[in-house]
Amino acid sequence: MFPFRNPLYGWFSKDMAIDLGTANTVVYVKGRGIVLREPSVVAVRKDVRGSKVLAVGGEAKEMLGRTPGNIMAIRPMKDGVIADFEVTEAMLRYFINKVHNRRHLVHPRIVISVPSGITQVEKRAVRDTAESVGASDVFLVEEPMAAAIGAGLPITEPTANMVVDIGGGTTEVAVISLTGIVYSRSVRMAGDKMDEAILQYIKRKHNLAIGERTAEEIKTSIGDVLPEEPYASMEIKGRDLVAGIPKTITITAKEIQNAIAEQVDVIVEATKAALEATPPELAADIVDHGIVLTGGGALLKNLDKRLSNETGMPIIISEDPLSSVVLGSGKALDRIDILREIAID
């Protein structure tokens, strides 16, 4: 569906696709594939002389919750869109320079994936940010469309393809046919909200304060939508809110199921709403082909089983859920005719 051109052309190309995610930023360079995957975090030092970027990506994430008062570890993306323009610009500039090793002046064409519910103001912010770091041309592609291409779905054919893309900031549900989005819904409920729910649950139930990074580790280690006995468990460390001293407790997968139940319910309801809004002819295709899960949330244990139980549809987890969006945007770079068709204004 997306035939590659002369591979030699790709090696000299600077064109890139960027999945500017709330949790992670992934960069794909034409002809080279995925070249960078880093947390969307920037460490900034603020003093009387102004702000200075100290670290970006993985190095900055290590500082989350561990910085002195004048250093802030900032996540400039919130709910899939730019919350801090200047910091996002600094982060993008750093990543692009890192990818191209600062060897030469680079003016690439850039494809950036955005949530389907994005506003005109938010689109302008993404476009301005890409242009400010030297993009010669900026294409915005809706995340569910990019995820569908990345998952290898036949988006150009007159059959329905349904995608549920669960990222850090948003969950995108879309039905795609003939390179167009027939139905889409973006809910600002995804991985980050689950982390926050875990953090609050442990604070409320165990009087223990933990950080964002610990909450994320709990989710990825023992997070389970349908846990079974004997429940998986893990030890976590935090600060006892009563005694004010460090403390270690053991929590179970059953507790985490309860902690994230509300977020999982919202994702399930958004999926069911999409099925209800799909035209009958296309709904029949979904029964045959199933629903494809992509994004980091697709890796949450038994979420596919819960969705299948609730919808009665086959659920397929894409081959590389964490990379589907950026791979789809990258494939679109190889077919400019398709890219122009799926790009949004």
* Side-chain-side CA neighbours of residue 179 (13 Å): 14
Res. 318: pLDDT tops 90: yes
Give the other-Cβ count within 10 Å of 224's Cβ: 20
Domain range annotation of the chain: 7-40+78-145+324-344, 43-74, 159-189+263-317, 191-261
Which residue in 159, 304, 337 sits closest to 225, CA to CA?
Answer: 304
Binding site per annotation, positions: 22-24, 168-170, 216-219, 296-299
pLDDT on residue 8: 38
- The mean pLDDT value of the chain amounts to 90
Element (H, E) at 18: strand 16-20
CA distance linking residue 310 with residue 79, whole number of Å: 26
Res. 13: pLDDT tops 70: no
Q: Do domains 159-189+263-317 and 191-261 have the same CATH topology?
A: no
Instruction: Indicate the fold that domain 7-40+78-145+324-344 takes in CATH.
Output: Nucleotidyltransferase; domain 5 (3.30.420)
Instruction: Indicate the fold that domain 159-189+263-317 takes in CATH.
Output: Nucleotidyltransferase; domain 5 (3.30.420)
Q: What is the largest CA-CA distance in the chain?
A: 66
- Give per-residue pLDDT as tens, 35-56: 999 999 999 988 777 778 899 9
Binding site per annotation, positions for ATP: 22-24, 168-170, 216-219, 296-299
Instruction: Indicate the fold that domain 191-261 takes in CATH.
Output: Actin; Chain A, domain 4 (3.90.640)
54: exposed, middle or buried (C-beta count within 10 Å: 0-12, 13-18, 19+)?
middle
Burial 77-114 (b: 16+ CB within 10 A, else e): bebbbbbbebbbbbbbbbbbeebbeeeeebebbbbbbb
- Give per-residue pLDDT as tens, 197-254: 999 999 999 999 999 889 999 999 999 999 999 999 999 999 999 999 999 999 999 9
What is the band of 4 on the pLDDT scale with cuts at 50, 70, 90? Answer: very low
End-to-end CA, the chain: 24
Asked if 15 and 333 touch (Cβ cutoff 8 Å), the reply is yes
Strands 24-29 and 42-47: unpaired
